[in-house]
Structure 1
Amino acid sequence: MSDLFLEIQIQNISSSTVFIQKVLLKPPEMYTREELNTVNQAGEDQCTFGTRTFLQSMEGRQYLYYLELKQEFSEKAGTIRGLIEMGTLDIVWKRDLGEMAMLQTIQLQREAPGYGNMRLSLETIPDTVILEEPFNIICKITNCSGRKMKLVLKMCDTDSIRWCGSSGRYLGKLSPSSSLCFTLTLLSLKLGLQGVSGIQVTDKVLKKTYACDNLAKICVIPSTFKMKN
């Protein structure tokens, strides 16, 4: 789990028109919320739905939110499995303009992505690199299992990527729900948009190897382009 975009669809399934007074997402403790349901016009934020506050029968609309994972939960996030709480959605609505509004609260849930026993992610990677010039990336491994791991790192060259440095290096022991970061150096042999692949991590305790491919995309440009700029 990490930062995510949350789309919520509201639909009027009654036979009459309803008026929406307020829609409020209360995120779970581990996230902060940013609403993406406004556009800036002439220096003022305007609702993407305009001034229209009602929904006809069977009509719906989508609300979009950006949820950012709090730093203190970053280590724990990789070990969460199954259904997780995604906060609550409060909808204040009524059928007629003169009647009292009603509050409806909906509990939101989603299935946590399955990372298996180990997750490898990229902390830092450049957007653009120069052809055949070395560059660095910072990787993070998270132990998503309930036991200690002893990890060995191996880098395998591909047709577009060459890894620099010695392969088969020992990364050390990694306790459950903890992470470690390390820096790798590589270079690209092909121009254009290239994928970063070829990392293998072996857990010496279980003698199991995890292949980590397609970690990210990088844009590779020729050195002449760099000189002109």
Structure 2
Amino acid sequence: MTTSMTSSMTSNMTSNIISSLTSTTTNTPTPSTDSIVDSIITPMEPSKTQEFIIRHEIKELGIHNLVCTLQYVAANEGIKRLFRKYYRFQVFNPFAVKTKANNMGDGTVFLEVQIQNVSERYMYLERMNFEPGEIFNYQDLNYNDNNIDDGGENDEFGEFMSGSNIDNEDNNIFNQNKQNENNKINDNQEENKEENIKKNIESVFGNNSYLNPQDIRQYLYMLKPKPEIDDRLGRTANALGKLDIIWRSHLGETGRLQTSQLTRKSPILDEIELSVISIPSIIQLEIPFKLGCRIRNRTTSTIKVIISAIKNKMGSILLSGQSSEMLGEIISDGIIEFELEFFPLSPGLQRVGGLKLTDIISGYTKEFDHLTDVFVVFL
């Protein structure tokens, strides 16, 4: 904001001029210390004007009240005088952010982020960062180079973090504070390095970072639980990560949006879980192929499982061989891996399903109408 002050006294110089600017909102009517800006102004001759710019980060939306207070002393009077002026304005968020989490059977999460420019002027999107939750690695799918992985699986990029979000713990140990400061510097350097690397790789949006009013962009991130994380925790955790968005207006004004933790509705895990762990790279029409499968027992007791086919639900991919097979006992939270052979009857993208698991101890059964999809080729 630019503040202008004019000395209207015709014959007297004013001195000891102190200006104070205070910003308040409807949520915080009492200004905090970081919202007050004080400045000492040099003495002013009659009818002279001074202008100065004050920068202040606005952290809340809605109605704001700017209170400008000026203190001065007239040279011939020696009396301290004070007056205030009030300015009222409203702050809008120029971007609307929507997210959607898509949960895969193996624990992978595809996070869709939709950014819309809801302002009345075009905006320049300077930076769009995603910081994953503690238990996730992630891959940024918004670049044409598929090797970009900001979650630690690719050492070239490492974990993508925003140094401005790292807060040092308040303690009185000097060495600890110094170490924390060094960590912040290293994180900022690493972030700058990653930004430079990404600038050399073409974005799926091209080189255009401008969003016209009502324009929408869709971003996609792939999250995977870290290998050392417990399987159940990795697949049910609801905290996915945070977004850090920086933009500029058409006049060069800078804005920043840091979201709270993005969450999802935790998926409900089956008591007996059947998943596919391997698929052949090429599946030919009318030639049998094998799928690697895994069953996990999520109950609190040992189960004894039989897998069988439901022929009227199998479609164009039929189970080859016996229609049922005893797989044996699986202890609580244990797994068993095995192979199933199938016979493809039709080319193209086909559904694999029509299977049933039965625990002969408890009588529990579960049907799997859709296990996976395979692409059948005709050579």
TM-score computed with the length of structure 1 as normaliser: 0.74
Partner AA of 2:370 in structure 1: N
* Partner secondary structure for residue 71 of structure 1: coil
1:132–1:102 CA distance, 2 compared to 1 (3 A):
closer
Displacement, 1:201?
A: 1.2
TM-score computed with the length of structure 2 as normaliser: 0.48
Do 1:92 and 1:102's aligned partners in 2 also have CA atoms closer than 8 Å? yes
In structure 1, the residue matched to 2:256 is: 102
Confirm or deny that 1:148 pairs with 2:301. yes
Match of 1:24 among 107, 123, 129: 129
In structure 1, the residue matched to 2:60 is: none
Deviations 1:32-82 (A, max 9, x none): 222222347xxx52233344334333332222222234333472258627x
Rounded to whole Å, the distance in 2 between the matches of 1:33 and 1:189 is 35
Displacement, 1:90?
A: 0.7
Match of 1:203 among 330, 351, 359: 359
Give ranges in structure 2 of 5+ residues lacking alignment: 1-103, 146-199
Rounded to whole Å, the distance in 2 between the matches of 1:103 and 1:187 is 51
1:180–1:29 CA distance, 2 compared to 1 (3 A):
farther
Q: How does 1:19-98 map to 2 (within 5 A)?
A: 19-39=124-144, 45-73=201-229, 75-76=231-232, 80=236, 84-95=238-249, 97-98=251-252
* Partner secondary structure for residue 93 of structure 1: strand
* Structure with the larger helix share: 2
* Partner secondary structure for residue 76 of structure 1: helix
Q: Which has the larger radius of gyration?
A: 2
Do 1:195 and 1:218's aligned partners in 2 also have CA atoms closer than 8 Å? yes
Rounded to whole Å, the distance in 2 between the matches of 1:201 and 1:150 is 11
Confirm or deny that 1:188 pairs with 2:293. no
Displacement, 1:25?
A: 0.5
Do 2:347 and 2:377's aligned partners in 1 also have CA atoms closer than 8 Å? yes
Rounded to whole Å, the distance in 2 between the matches of 1:115 and 1:73 is 17
* Structure with the larger strand share: 1
Partner AA of 1:21 in structure 2: E
Do 1:148 and 1:175's aligned partners in 2 also have CA atoms closer than 8 Å? yes
Match of 2:319 among 155, 162, 169: 162
1:135–1:11 CA distance, 2 compared to 1 (3 A):
closer
Confirm or deny that 1:9 pairs with 2:114. yes
Overall identity of the aligned pairs, in %: 31
Partner AA of 2:347 in structure 1: G
Structure 1 vs Structure 2 CA RMSD: 3.2
Displacement, 1:88?
A: 0.5
Rounded to whole Å, the distance in 1 between the matches of 2:327 and 2:247 is 59
* Partner secondary structure for residue 214 of structure 1: coil
Displacement, 1:151?
A: 3.1
Do 1:25 and 1:88's aligned partners in 2 also have CA atoms closer than 8 Å? yes
In structure 2, the residue matched to 1:216 is: 372
Give ranges in structure 1 of 5+ residues lacking alignment: none
> How many residues end up aligned between the 2 structures?
215
